[in-house]
Amino acid sequence: MGRAGLLLRLAWRNLWRNARRTVILLLAVTLGVAAMVFAAAFSRGMVVAMVDDAIDHLPGHVQIHAPGYRDDPAAEHRFPYPQGRLRAVLDGPLVAAWAARVRVPVVVASEYDTAGVTLLGVEPRREAALAYLGRASVDGRPLADANDAGLLIGRRLAERLDTVRGRRVVITAQGADGALADRGFRVVGLFRSPWSSEEKGIALTGLATAQRLLRLPGEVNEVAVRAADPERLEALVAALRAAAPELEVADWRTLSPLTHAGQQLYSQFTWVWYLVVFLGMAFGLVNTLLMAVLERTREFGLFLALGMRPRWILGQVWFEALLVLVLGLAAGNGLALALARALGEVDVSAFAAGAELAGLAQRIPLIIHGGDLALANGLVLALGLAAALYPAWRAARLAPVRALRRN
């Protein structure tokens, strides 16, 4: 230990010469660090929930379309049901689940009203593993298989059409050949969704039924894919593009730029929050250390007279900052972890409309991520020690004879 041990001992004892001041400073650092870690956990939870929600409703991390479909989502922009190399990738280790769908804009009419909606022709078994709508709570019966001729619509759409389960509606669309196609469907179930846009604007039927209606035998408009490892999204996209070079493969960041922008915005918000909290903390730390240096000026003069080098004086004050920061970090992390564990998640359903508008989930999980912890702790420690350099430098550059004269 040697001189470092001496400086550490002096720093520790000097801290407790004014215990009240030190406790107040420690509390400030503790609360600041806890606020940083908690905010990071909330922010990460918000981003994860937002992205998960988007993936669940988009749906999928990646979608495959025929060229032109994303600009004009019409039945004519179609491609064969996955097979060959594309099917091999979809059934491979990079993919957790996938579903092929017919997806076109249609008009749905009841006896009382009409509405423009999106018709999804789905394979219910595949859809359940991929998307929220495949698992949504249904008043009535869910779709049984790809040949199911029943229609599932959202609760709010049913209200708008003034129809109920068991009644018939007519769907009119433009088929793949450009001719109008229409057909009567019985509403077999009403689904619920936290996204009102889904409840108002989606109707589901069996894939084969939709193919027959739109004259798309063996063809689909969309393949939605859930990645086995979202961290390896680039590899999945590359594999899909290689397997189906004639199709357009896009990940969720392209398909939902608002969600991606939100993800980045919340990450930046975390940085701004870190900065605000840190500035408050650093102000308290530097002020307290400057006061301690001023109070002990004569003592520093004595140290210099006894042969302590200026850089060891600097070290002494710096160690005081280090001890406060380390103790504050330990307590702050403990407090934030305990709080996050106790709460688990934050319920923002009271602000459901605003949350949906902002693309947020209604329950935000508090996610303590090792990287966030390391960043918050590293930032406080590094910047805190940098801020402490000024009072330490002030102490180190004291002229011994002037310092000794100070009472």
Partner 1 sequence: MDALVTLRAVTKTYRQGEVDVPALRGVDLDIAAGEFVCLSGPSGSGKTTLLNLIGGLDTPSGGHIQVAGRDLARLSPGERAELRLRHIGFVFQAYNLIPVLSAQENVELVMELQGVGAAERHARARAILAEVGLAGLEGRRPAALSGGQQQRVAVARAIVSAPDLVLADEPTANLDSENGRRLLEIMRRLNGERGVTFVISTHDPEVMAFARRLIRLHDGRIQADERRDGPP
**Whole-number minimum distance, CB 405 to partner 1, in Å?**
10
Nearer to partner 1, 308 or 364 (CB): 308
Shortest Cβ distance from residue 273 to partner 1 (Å)? 38
- 141 binds partner 1, rule: CB under 8 A: no
Contacting residue, 3, 125, 141, 186, with partner 1 by CB under 8 A: 3
Q: How many CB atoms sit inside 10 A of residue 346's CB?
A: 16
The piece of 13-21, 26-34, 344-352, 371-379 that touches partner 1 (CB under 8 A) is: 13-21
Give the footprint of partner 1 on residues 17-36 (CB under 8 A): 17
Identified binder of partner 1 from the candidate list 13, 141, 168, 186, rule CB under 8 A? 13
Using CB under 8 A, which of the segments 6-14, 48-56, 203-211, 258-266 binds partner 1?
6-14
For residue 6, state whether it binds partner 1 (rule: CB under 8 A). Answer: yes
Contacts (CB under 8 A) with partner 1, residues 306-335: 306-312
**In this structure, are strands 219-220 and 151-154 parallel, antiparallel, or unpaired?**
unpaired
Minimal distance, residue 309 CB to partner 1, in Å: 5
Count residues binding partner 1 (CB under 8 A): 24
From candidates 87, 232, 260, 298, binder to partner 1 by CB under 8 A: 298
- The residue (of 17 and 168) whose beta carbon lies closer to partner 1 is 17
294 binds partner 1 (CB under 8 A): no
Q: Decide whether 144 or 399 has the Cβ nearer to partner 1.
A: 399
Give yes or no for a cis peptide into 310 (omega within 30° of 0): no
**Residue number, 270 or 297, with CB nearest to partner 1:** 297
| Between 70 and 298, CB nearer to partner 1 | 298
Q: Can you tell me which of 299, 332, 355, 377 binds partner 1, judged by CB under 8 A?
A: 299
Q: Which is nearer to partner 1, 138 or 304 (CB)?
A: 304
Stretch of residues binding partner 1 (CB under 8 A), selected from 38-46, 190-198, 335-343, 399-407: 399-407
Q: What HEC string does the chain produce?
A: CHHHHHHHHHHHHHHHHHHHHHHHHHHHHHHHHHHHHHHHHHHHHHHHHHHHHHHHHCCCCEEEECCCCCCCCCCCCCEECCCHHHHHHHCCCCEEEEEEEEEEEEEEECCCCEEEEEEEEECHHHHHHHCHHHCCCEEECCCCCCCCCCEEEEHHHHHHHCCCCCCEEEEEEECCCCCEEEEEEEEEEEECCCCHHHHHHEEEEEHHHHHHHHCCCCEECEEEEEECCHHHHHHHHHHHHHHCCCCEEEEHHHHCHHHHHHHHHHHHHHHHHHHHHHHHHHHHHHHHHHHHHHHCHHHHHHHHHHCCCHHHHHHHHHHHHHHHHHHHHHHHHHHHHHHHHHHCEEECHHHHHHHHHCCCCCEEECCCCHHHHHHHHHHHHHHHHHHHHHHHHHHHCCCHHHHHHCC
Instruction: Find the part of the chain contacting partner 1 (CB under 8 A) among 247-255, 299-307, 330-338, 365-373.
Output: 299-307
- Answer for which of 279, 305, 374, 382 binds partner 1 (CB under 8 A) is 305
Q: Which residues bind partner 1 (CB under 8 A)?
A: 2-3, 6, 10, 13-14, 17, 298-299, 302-312, 399-401, 404
